[in-house]
Every structure is written in structure tokens, then in C-alpha cells.
Amino acid sequence: MTLVVPEGQQQSMTPQRTYQVRTYGCQMNVHDSERMAGLLEDSGLVKAEGELADVVVFNTCAVRENADNKLYGNLGMLASVKEANPGMQIAVGGCLAQKDRDTILKRAPWVDVVFGTHNVGALPTLLERAKHNQDAQLEILESLEVFPSTLPTKRDSVYSGWVSISVGCNNTCTFCIVPSLRGKERDRRPGDILAEIQALVDDGAIEVTLLGQNVNSYGVEFGDRQAFSKLLRACGEIPGLERVRFTSPHPAAFTDDVIEAMAETPNVMPQLHMPLQSGSDKVLKDMRRSYRSTKFLGILEKVRERIPQAAISTDIIVGFPGETEEDFQATLDVVEKSRFATAFTFQYSKRPGTPAAELPDQLPKAVVQERYERLTALQDRISAEENAKQIGQQVELLVTAESGKKAAETHRLSGRSQDSRLVHFTVPEGAEQPRPGDLVTVTVTEAAAFHLVADPGPDTVYQLRRSRAGDAWDRAQAESCGVPSGAAASGAAAGPVSLGMPSLPIR
């Protein structure tokens, strides 16, 4: 029997080209990758599911010293793969592409496209041009042409989303290369931001995170220094938006009106990420951070006075050039006083092109490593002590699609509390299973440094609130031929859990 395919259906049976976006670095890169995925899907590509992708895009970071090695190592591994698959294309974008430019093509001539942070929207055109011309395409713009949020988006989550309120940075921190790669700060108009948030909510999202290199300076471009606090309050007026977060503020620009807006707007979550970087005033001066430890601790005191349940996280750099043992002890002292829920700790990384790279007294690796270990040990202890205070408390969780590494054996699901703590929980026998995007109220029964546990017991609570976000999850699963609530219903792990923000997915 011969199968005859109608002429009009022949094209639909041609396999679609697939893509994969590999993301490195900060939450801004994660958001940019959603734009890249949206652009590629608008161009007719589909996300690769495990198999080799026809188009592989690297969205790179240039903040850490090993970023270069990681990129070129990955590109090297793909060289032979591409040689065996002539139709394959490789593109490199992001901060490292903006910095290295033609160096990438010199070191990895099998790359097809190199594009920068200011022209994400050109990716499909550059890929098509590279294919047509049989020649690598390099396009790096020095300033933003189109605000990224106007581009198509393939969101990583149906129940939460990122919303950029600004791009670029006007600060001059001596260790940071971001301003030279992302450019000067440009602010979006409040109406555009609120319209995007409304669109996300209409699509089923109940949580948004507002993004900016320095959210506190939002509005300076159009002359309103209280624009950010007004934006937070405006988010509180959006029906169906249950959780609002933001990152990252800068201590030098953090003002009382923002604290008041956080305290008085019910859907702004009791969570604050406040980068310390160092507890030494001398080091802060050398970093050009324009605040001192007393001001930093004063901000935390004001936040906790108005929002007692707030969980505060931070960033800290160890081993900045010229840091003495006395300077490092000052950092330990501030960390002890601050009682951070969690901290993202980094060993100083010398980045060519930054003022700090030219400073004298660059510290030996062994000294930096030893201090780093002392700092992380201190913060791990504090995190465990702060989490232990949660035992016996009832917390509301937004159920996530990811579960813990041990979920297959523990049958626990995972969720984020209002203060963003990670909680692994067990659904009581006979109780209804939640979907990702639903909300559950549970009683915390155990605590560790990096997570909480909520297991059923005689004095514990389990309450499920099905949400529009859970409905959106079901719809997304149905549209992708998945099984609604499958992971949740089985209690199996849907993937590795993310212990910090943001997640860095490979699409």
C-alpha cells in the first residue's frame, strides 16, 4: 500500500529546525534568553528536546574570570559536532560577546554569529545571513536600538515572569565590567512596564520580578526620583498579581519611600536582595560603592522595623585588591550583624578593562580561598539559624515545576515561600495534589541552611488553593502534548531544584 501525502501537507511533514539557548550569568541574561527563544520560535524554530539542536545559542556572562574558559571550552566541544552536522549553526551573544567581539571568531572560527547585548533582536537575521552568505556574521552595537521587552518572548515559566524596568547602569564600581557592556541606564516608561505585567497576568502568571541593574535609580532618566516606589504601589493595583519581587537595588540609592511602598503594598513580597560586597569602609571606597557599612546596616534596620518578617539576601566579594585581614574581619562582623537569610559569595575575579584590575596588592589565591571558606562557613551557620526560626510556622508556597534532587525517594514537591525561602513539602495521604503555579499553606517541620521541609504531622497544616497559574500550567502542558499535573501527581522530580535566583535553564 502506497501512502499518498496531499500536496498541501508535504511541507508540514518536513522536520522543523530546532534550537537550544544556553544561558550563563545573571537574571538579566536569563530574561534576555527568553527573548532569544521567542525570536527563534517566531522564525519557525522549535525548542530541542534532548536531541542535537540545529541552532545552539550561547548567552554569555563576562563578570567572572572563568567565563572565557567556560565559553571556549564549550565551543571547542561543539567543533567536531558541527563538522559532522554541516547544517548546524552556533551563535554567541551576551556580555562576553560584547567584550571579546572578533576574538571569538579568531579563537572559534566555526561560530556562525556573534552579537552583542544591544542587538538581541538581530539574532534571526544574522543566522539567516550567515547561512545564505556561508560566512560568519559579527554585529556589535554600542547602544541599544530596541528595548528588549518589545521583542517576542518564550517564557521559561507560565506562573511567574521577569519584567525589565531598565537596562544598563550608571554606576562606576571598580570591579564591574557591566556598565561598559550594557551601556548607560535607560528607563522604560511606567505605562509600558505595567502593560507588560498586565499581559503576563492575563496569560496566567501570578508572580513577577522587576529587573534592573539598579532598580532604585529607576526614573532618574525622566526626572522622578520616587518612580520606583510609585511603580511598586501601582503593581499593588493589578488584580490577580499576587507576588511582586525586584532585583537588584543599590544601598547608596535605597530610600525610605521604597521601604514604605514595600510595607504598604500587600503583593510586594517580604524579601530584599541588598548587595553588601564588603563590610570594610576602606574596601567599599576602593570599590567606589558610595556607601559605608553604617549606612548599609541602617537600611537593614529600617526594613526590619517596617517589615519584621523580611528575609534579606546579599552579594559579597572576598579578596578585593588590597583587602587586609582587618578589612576581611569587618566583612565578617557586618555579616554577623546583618543576619542574612542567604548570601551569594564570590572570590574576587580580575577582569581586564576594569579599574580594579590595575590596582596594586592583588591577593594570592590561597589567601582569598581561605577567607572565602571562613565567610561561607559563617553564612551557612547564620542561614541555618535563621531557617530554624521558621520551624512551626505556617507558610504559603507557590508550587514550582522543579523538585529537589531527592524527590524521587522522598516524594516531596517544592515551592517558594513569600520571603523566597525554598520549601520541600509532602502532600498528606489522600489530599489533593497541587499543580505548579498553585498555592499551598504548610507547616515547617525541619530546617537546613539552604532549605526548609514541611512534612505532615498531628499539629501541621496542609491547605491547597488552586490558582489561575495552575490552570495556565495545565493549558501549557496540554498544548505541548504533555500530561497536566503529571509531575505533581506522581510526586516525582521534574528537574533539579534551583537554590538561588535566577535559574539558569538550558533551552
Burial class (CB in 10 A: 0-12, 13-18, 19+), 49: exposed
Q: What is the DSSP letter of 189?
A: P
Helix 256-264 to helix 293-306 angle (10° resolution) is 20
- CA–CA separation, 60 and 435 (whole Å): 33
Question: What SS3 state is found at 28?
Answer: helix
235 is in an annotated binding site: no
- Among 396, 394, 465, 462, residue whose Cα is nearest residue 429: 462
Judge whether 176 is annotated as a binding position: yes
From the CB of residue 502, how many other CB atoms can be counted at a distance below 10 Å?
19
Q: In 10 A of CB 357, how many CB atoms? A: 15
Residue 481 annotated as binding? no
SS3 percent helix, strand, coil of the chain, rounded to 5, is 40, 20, 45
Q: In what order do the strands lie in the sheet with 394-399?
A: 446-447, 452-454, 422-425, 413-417, 394-399, 439-443, 462-465
Q: Note whether 476 and 158 are within 8 A (CB).
A: yes
**Is-contact 30 143, C-beta < 8 A?**
no
Largest CA distance in the chain: 84
Could you tell me which residues are annotated as the binding site for [4Fe-4S] cluster?
A: 26, 61, 95, 169, 173, 176
Could you tell me which residues are annotated as the binding site?
A: 26, 61, 95, 169, 173, 176
